[in-house]
Structure 1
């Protein structure tokens, strides 16, 4: 039985004395390159609550960056992990395989879009999945160029840093980066120069002309896109744009890679965000929410593409670890049995209504966007000029933290508040978190 009640409790200031003590140990032994957004040290968590070492209970609107989608200490996940640990923890699938790996790949073949034959390969992280998707695309097509988009984020390895758009903190000083990566304009309705109504057509034309002029369609192995961009600011392209990109790729023999690392597994109200427009990618990368907090990632794609790579060309020591696979199967069961796609849409309705009220009251929210439980508010200091309000965003974030709500910011300009609550969070807890957000805005705005 758990002793964590699903309510916010503040026993000390945030962070408390014990967390402050642990933070000093972190500074002494952990690289400064590993940042901490909120130095509160968690000792236990369940559902939508994180309890720290000082006894404070914080409302979790981050889910470990979209990882604990089914909630911390999900009973199905805990039991599956317990059973698997009792059996064995590792053999390396490439040495002596096990059924759990197969079961995850079978589930991915069933769940991912499209009725074609599909195969998967399992890895540890989203960046690893993206890197392997590019390897597969290049090997299968015999082409080398990969096109990514402005504001995109795909990871922190050398190749994925090349794909990622934002310099700080992800790329600065780490180059040179992997070659044959090109960047096209993103369909960003709120900031499209001629306005959101023109965005779909003009952004598509800008994309195709960029590839034609700077890369050459015949040189392009793949186009990689987050159906809803994550770190870049939860940018949702206009309706129809992604489908046009997909059709254009097919026309030119270019593979479409959907990076669903942050948006996948019920987060947006569909199993995968690209399903919203019926887009069927050639390759898809998943991670984060797939395994209830355990490290697991996958590349899933058309069988002929996945089989184009020679034996031994894909893999890794820990990829598809049996404990992580067991957790993934239990997470998927929870998503199905508890209808978390529907729950994501309920959360969307609550968040967007509260954010719209806040926007009307404060006059500093220029755009509210997202789908499901992947919702964001872009803060500006001038609604007409759309001037990014990064300092205000940071101040609101800090005020939320001090009141015991774990929040996240993102965006190329550092001015986007993003909401990624576990899909198991209660309406009451979510409402309380939004009450705190109201208070934080009031404090930051003076």
Structure 2
């Protein structure tokens, strides 16, 4: 509890100081805020409108169903509270109060749910397997999006064979581990090869015309340099934040992603580290470049702190490792910006990774939610969960798609309990 309070209080303070913001859509506006072109009363409603759906539609249901905290329920509200506060001390207080509300509220809600005749929280453990196994194929999906159907099919075939072989040969290892790693190598390799071929062709064309070879655009270097220097000035604050986030991950009370919430719930920290490590590559360009452009870092850094925290042997090591990860990320920002100017296909690959991850997670969570419905009430549970999901689609998605299926499971569980008390439903045995 003390650790969650400290993380939320510090993250709200750093938002107030325009040093770190979690929401990628809010971060670009922080430069205008720092330079006086946008006031707090203008940017706070914007941050709330961008975050509310993720807090109540994704973060809260995910935390409730797994018992594991996540960035959407902790850091998106501290974005808003940090911007709302007129004084730094008030930002600290508001962040701490939010942390207490989350911890006590989640604990009481979980206890109440588990005391019901139909325990839908236990049924929601069915989400873990579809999410974990399908997630292993997101690199193949990204390859298909970026490099076409043929290469996507080849990547999927390679991953599928490796998954089958892993399940047969290394029975104690998660079967998707090797396939996910090789899929990421294929994607990055194809992106680098595409850039090299394109650069070689451009040089040959320039040579044929007698012109100088094209060079990457570095016109933003001066702005990037000033903003990177600002972040280095605030490095002690960011090191403290990285240490706290890493420590929170090491406790098993916090997970950085949708898939890893279910892994951490079952104590599978090694696979959680691997999943969030590969997932990070989809966010490095986005977080790195928005941090350079705005002079405001991300509350979770470039995401590597999650994987480091999961596998740390104890909280002391996790704190030191988290601080070290944030240090390296901040110091490497300038070089990161220059790197992506030279390898645009790798930056494009990151966009496709994020899209592929969302698609795979949506499908895995939907499959798992349908299984949870079946576990609670057989065919009736399938119909209720699936029907609510389809209804959400027809209504224009008032609940975002990633969270729609878990929310449907929770609503189905509550409905089945009402039916039980009304003598209209008998819980399934076992």
Greater helix content:
2
TM-score (norm 1): 0.25
Return the TM-score normalized by structure 2. Answer: 0.25
Return the structure number with greater strand share: 1
